[in-house]
Amino acid sequence: MTQLNPENLRAARAILKWGMRDLARESGVAFSTVYLIENGKRSPPTGEDVTAAKLVETFRRHGIEVLSPPTAGARRIAPQS
């Protein structure tokens, strides 16, 4: 189960050179939700959460793996079709 936290989202977006609006558009998650998670104003979703699933799948489609704690961050992988 992937746990998302602000650091994971920022790292994954940085690799893709995306802003928060890019992530919101690509994932179908509201910009306000992305903003609140990244700024620690909303509890990060867990891997079983619909929001987490959308974000993680979006990153995977673009060749990014979000790393689970205790490691914070993301890394490039082969894009999934």
Query: pLDDT tens for residues 18-75?
Result: 999 999 999 999 999 999 988 888 766 655 688 888 999 999 999 999 987 777 789 9
How much is the pLDDT for 49? 81
Which domain covers residue 29, as residue numbers? 6-75
How far is Cα 68 from Cα 47, in angstroms, rounded to an integer? Answer: 10
pLDDT at position 75: 93
Domain presence at residue 80: no
Two tokens, residue 39: 């700024």
Res 64: pLDDT: 95
Domain count, the chain: 1
pTM: 0.85
Q: Which amino acid is at 7?
A: E
Q: What is the pLDDT of residue 69?
A: 72
Report the CATH number at residue 27. 1.10.260.40
